[in-house]
Amino acid sequence: MCKDHACNFDANLNRTLASRSTVVRHIGSGWSVPLTSERALPTVLATMMQTPEPELGWTSHFADVWAELGRVGRPGRVMRLDRGWSTVLTAISDEPLRVRNIGADVAVGDWVIPSADGGRVETVLERQSAFVRRASHEGNRAEAHTLAANIDVVFLVHGLNSPPNQRRLERELVLAFDSGARPVVVLSKLDLVEDPAVIDRSVKSLEEVALGVPVHAASGITHAGLETLRTYAAEGRTIALLGASGVGKSTLINALVGNDALRTNDVRMGDQRGRHTTTAAELVSLPSGGWLLDTPGVRAVSLWLSGEGIERAFADVFELMDHCRFRDCKHEDEPGCAVLAAIKAGTLPGVRLHSLKRLVAEEAALEDEQRVHLKAGDRRGVHRPRRQGRFS
């Protein structure tokens, strides 16, 4: 409610709700509320309160975080990042702002509050989810790189024109489960494979490691399979697409959105490999509602910790481990080891245990490095005590 007695904003709004097509402006106290016939009542009310729209991905989580901050400033969503600048959208019908990220750890998808002068990002609202990997593969200092923030669903994109890569998918699944978003596997370039048996083999191969995670095949060129992918994008939901360069993430997004908003590598190369065409992560709106987040292809997927990612991505092995005779079984040669028994019986591929051990070792090494960061106080997220007794 507007507290200005001379104001007829509420009356105007009521009239607008009745006619659902008028543009209302209350200039006196800074209201600027464009209303279109498509806008639903919650959106109208949200705009009245200077609260971001649910269609932009604003949820009760951010409302609570912002309330704790005293509802200062005007939150906006980071649509794109370019060399230290954020493109921030505060309302779907507004022009985006360009704001500097000086000293702020910002990722695309973040909700941020720009400073009063609009010059820089002042606050990054606590994330609901974040897809984080280790920034550099070789460097000996552990640094986090947040590929995408506040995502609801993550499409892990693999090309059907290459042999299925279970090991890469396992890593991506660990990060996806850790992120808090729901993983979905997308096998792209369906049009390039004619033999249904080949498609079936690839789907089955990835399903073997993607326990309970849906696997869909699609083509950004023929648009086959796109309807299924669209079902994941309900109003205001954000879907991030992740995968190696050249697997067709931008092509899929363009096909889903229905235009060529994103640059793709459309020069057909002999080996079909990408050349890092997308250089900045970017949120693109879906006409039917929801957001797609394009990301530059990543060559290697290095872990960053960690919640329950490993346990969830390897739930099959962890379930077996609960049945080992010894609680501190290392699953090497102990009697009564349920994991080794399953491998022997052919119900668990031996390579699953091998992958798990490798990832746990990588995680343990990272935990040591990160302890330094924790002390420096610059690490977000929850630290998990190292697993005891389950591995050497």
Residues engaged in binding Mg ion (CB under 5 A):
249-250, 277-278
Q: How far is CA 168 from the centre of its chain?
A: 17
Q: How far apart are CA 293 and CA 147, in angstroms?
A: 10
Nearer to ligand GTP among residue 128 and residue 278 (C-beta): 278
Residue 128 CB, shortest distance to ligand GTP, in Å, is 25
Residue 274 binds which entry of Mg ion, ligand GTP, Zn ion, none, with Cβ cut-offs from 5 to 8 Å by kind? ligand GTP
Q: Which residues contact 358 (CB under 8 A, 6 or more apart)?
A: none
Site string for ligand GTP, 276-305 (x = CB under 6 A): xxx-----------------xx--------
- Residues constituting the chain: 392
> 62, 67, 70, 64: which is closest to 78 by C-alpha?
62
**Of residues 188-207, which lie at the interface with ligand GTP (CB under 6 A)?**
188-189, 191-192
By CB under 6 A, name the one of 12, 101, 128, 265 that touches ligand GTP: 265
Determine how β-strand 153-159 pairs with β-strand 121-124. unpaired
Residue 198 CB, shortest distance to ligand GTP, in Å, is 15
Q: Does 246 bind ligand GTP (CB under 6 A)?
A: yes
**Of residues 269-328, which lie at the interface with Zn ion (CB under 5 A)?**
324
Site string for Zn ion, 320-359 (x = CB under 5 A): ----x----x-x-----x-x--------------------
Residue 191 CB, shortest distance to ligand GTP, in Å, is 5
Among the candidate windows 101-109, 243-251, 325-333, 374-382, which touches ligand GTP by CB under 6 A?
A: 243-251
Q: Which residues contact 146 (CB under 8 A, 6 or more apart)?
A: 105, 107, 130, 131, 132
Burial class (CB in 10 A: 0-12, 13-18, 19+), 315: middle
> 111, 88, 79: which is closest to 281 by C-alpha?
79
Could you tell me the two tokens for 310? 């490993």
Residue 228 CB, shortest distance to ligand GTP, in Å, is 14
> 376, 325, 332, 356: which is closest to 166 by C-alpha?
356
Please give the residue ranges that form the binding site for Zn ion (CB under 5 A). Answer: 324, 329, 331, 337, 339
Contacting residues toward ligand GTP, per CB under 6 A: 188-189, 191-192, 219-221, 245-251, 264-266, 268, 274, 276-278, 296-297
